[in-house]
Amino acid sequence: MGDTGMDTDVVIAGAGPTGLMLACELRLAGADVVVVERLTERTGESRAGGMHSRTLEVLDQRGVLDRFLAVGELQPVGHFSGLWLDFDESESRHPYPLMILQSAIERLLEEWAAELGVRVRWSSGVSGIRQDEAGVEVELGTADAAPAQLRARYLVGCDGGRSTVRKLSGIDFPGTPATMTALIGDVELPDLPEEYVWARRCPGGDFSAIAFEAGWHRVITSEYDRVPDRDEPATFEQLRESLVRLAGTDFGMRGPRWISRFGDAARQAAQYRDGRVLLAGDAAHIHFPAGGQGLNLGVQDAVNLGWKLASVVRGRAPESLLDTYHAERHPVGERVLHNTRAQAALARPGVQMDALRDVFGSLIVFDDVNRYLRGMLTALDIRYPVGCDHPLAGRRVPDADLKTPDGATGVHELLHTARPLLLDLRGSTEVATAAEGWTDRVDLVEARSEDDHWPVPAGGDIPAPTALLIRPDGHVAWAAAAGGAPDTTTLRTALTTWFGPASQG
């Protein structure tokens, strides 16, 4: 990094899905980044089993979704605490969960990161942090690597639920402790009846077996009578015994590939930023993995933070832009903790809970209830407070079909470069004139919408806007409604707020 005394712009602790996605976003936006990872190499642990619509969209916005679709399997339905949710094609181009193991997600993200020039340093766990006015010193060391130091403008802790970065920064992690324990294993189950998802509630808890790949299943048993110490290792024998207690048989279980344990502890970092240190992903929030939201939440934290942090390190936006990361993402994380607590409660055993599930199950078939819950689980309904009252403002932009002078495209395709986008859908000179001071960092594209109305998940159809300012994360910063001239004063305010002051001359 020349004579700045910095080794890089940003150090990211942790090469999990969040850290890798953030590294890609920072590189796309022109920042230099080093990822430091405590492990010596990938473990290949399967862990998370899927991605939801909004995560699929953010990968599509970068033009890399096909790599994930080629490996994963589309699912026809999702669920809320095991109660089925339908998806609606009008809400997204990707109205389905994609079943894909976390090990594959990490491999694909790592390949993409390497293409973008991201450097990953293995065997390099963060062990110390010192912030000053200009940067942060990051101490690295593990049992098998000599201690080293890196100096960067910012450090982002993407180092998982037990985040060292969070602890070293003294950021509180309030929440609720575990009240149950679940064992999980990827195993062969030769005696299981041939059904794709097999789940059953029992007096002491519940179990499920999901066929992930030919010949092997993911088995999960949940029991409520004891919460083991979280450092106690999970074993194949414990999983087998738990399944026998619940199901009365182990279905011939053998050949474990991976065994682990999780619970319903739910905690969230009190601040996502402390000066030059930020937190993202599980380092910022942990919760019961119901509905498969954790990895998605982390990847979307990364997409929210990446362009903002790159703008700040490149001197294009004031540091205060980083505070919008906490302001926008903390409430989203809070809502996930809330809905996973509700799902954990609904999963508890007992006749009262059976009755509550029965009532909840009869409500979930109503369209409005289904739409509300799927908006929440897919994260398609997120709306950030961006200070504009158009119905699209703050929401993720729908991937509407467009016609441009260069041919047909979709809005999300125009976001592949990860640059801010000003879409003029009316051919009005006012929009181009108002944006003159920002053309060095905002792409102005003239296009026509192929549709008169655009779908807004959980918001119904709205008339197609006549102009839109879209942030690199795909959220609408400003929009102009049909029927009237665009308000260029609010457009200029939005351009300044999100992308810094206008260039002179």
Ligand X SMILES: Cc1cc2nc3c(=O)[nH]c(=O)nc-3n(C[C@H](O)[C@H](O)[C@H](O)COP(=O)(O)OP(=O)(O)OC[C@H]3O[C@@H](n4cnc5c(N)ncnc54)[C@H](O)[C@@H]3O)c2cc1C
Segment lying near ligand X (by CB under 6 A), choices 44-52, 372-380, 456-464, 471-479: 44-52
Burial of 262 (0-12, 13-18, 19+ CB in 10 A): buried
Q: Interface residues for ligand X in 107-136 (CB under 6 A)? A: 125-126
Q: Which of 175, 228, 275, 292 is the binder for ligand X (CB under 6 A)?
A: 292
Q: Return the structure tokens found at 106.
A: 């990490």
Distance of closest approach, residue 33 Cβ to ligand X, in angstroms:
14
Q: Under a CB-based contact definition with an 8 Å cutoff, are residues 259 and 241 in contact? A: no
Q: Tell me: does residue 263 bind ligand X (CB under 6 A).
A: no
Burial of 256 (0-12, 13-18, 19+ CB in 10 A): middle
Q: Tell me: does residue 47 bind ligand X (CB under 6 A).
A: yes
Comparison of 230 and 245: residue with beta carbon closer to ligand X: 230
Segment lying near ligand X (by CB under 6 A), choices 41-49, 188-196, 386-394, 397-405: 41-49
Q: Tell me: does residue 185 bind ligand X (CB under 6 A).
A: no
Task: Report d(CA 166, CA 272) in Å as an integer.
Answer: 9
Distance of closest approach, residue 99 Cβ to ligand X, in angstroms:
9
Residues β-bridged to residue 404: 407
Segment lying near ligand X (by CB under 6 A), choices 155-163, 353-361, 363-371, 406-414: 155-163
Q: Which of 38, 201, 273, 348 is the binder for ligand X (CB under 6 A)?
A: 38
Task: Report d(CA 121, CA 133) in Å as an integer.
Answer: 26
Q: Under a CB-based contact definition with an 8 Å cutoff, are residues 49 and 292 in contact? A: yes
Phi/psi at 71 (5° precision): -100, -35
Q: Tell me: does residue 158 bind ligand X (CB under 6 A).
A: yes
Segment lying near ligand X (by CB under 6 A), choices 15-23, 364-372, 402-410, 448-456: 15-23
Q: By C-alpha distance, which of 309, 311, 355 is closest to 329?
A: 309
Q: Which of 72, 78, 135, 160 is the binder for ligand X (CB under 6 A)?
A: 160
Q: Tell me: does residue 463 bind ligand X (CB under 6 A).
A: no
Distance of closest approach, residue 196 Cβ to ligand X, in angstroms:
16
> DSSP states of 391-434 as a string?
TTTTBBPP--EEEETTEEEETGGGGTT---EEEESS--HHHHHH
Q: Which of 72, 78, 135, 289 is the binder for ligand X (CB under 6 A)?
A: 289
Instruction: Count H helices and E strands in the chain, helices first.
Output: 12, 30
Comparison of 167 and 448: residue with beta carbon closer to ligand X: 167
Quote the DSSP letter at residue 38: S
Q: Tell me: does residue 159 bind ligand X (CB under 6 A).
A: yes
296 CB contacts (<8 Å, ≥6 apart)? 51, 52, 54, 55, 379
To which H or E segment does residue 121 belong? strand 119-121
Q: Which of 10, 17, 277, 377 is the binder for ligand X (CB under 6 A)?
A: 17
Q: Which of 9, 49, 312, 394 is the binder for ligand X (CB under 6 A)?
A: 49
Distance of closest approach, residue 62 Cβ to ligand X, in angstroms:
17
Q: Under a CB-based contact definition with an 8 Å cutoff, are residues 68 and 62 in contact? A: no
Distance of closest approach, residue 294 Cβ to ligand X, in angstroms:
3
Q: Tell me: does residue 298 bind ligand X (CB under 6 A).
A: yes
Q: Return the structure tokens found at 388.
A: 């504009």
Distance of closest approach, residue 329 Cβ to ligand X, in angstroms:
13
Segment lying near ligand X (by CB under 6 A), choices 154-162, 223-231, 359-367, 495-503: 154-162
Q: Which of 15, 31, 156, 344 is the binder for ligand X (CB under 6 A)?
A: 15
Task: Report d(CA 157, CA 163) in Å as an integer.
Answer: 7
Q: Which of 222, 238, 293, 490 is the binder for ligand X (CB under 6 A)?
A: 293
Comparison of 2 and 196: residue with beta carbon closer to ligand X: 196
User: 211 in the Ramachandran plot: left (φ > 0), alpha (ψ -120 to 50) or beta?
Assistant: beta
Q: By C-alpha distance, which of 48, 25, 22, 50 is closest to 35?
A: 22
Quote the DSSP letter at residue 465: P
Distance of closest approach, residue 49 Cβ to ligand X, in angstroms:
4
Positions touching ligand X (CB under 6 A) are 13-19, 36-39, 47-50, 102, 125-126, 158-160, 164, 184, 260, 262, 281-282, 289, 292-296, 298
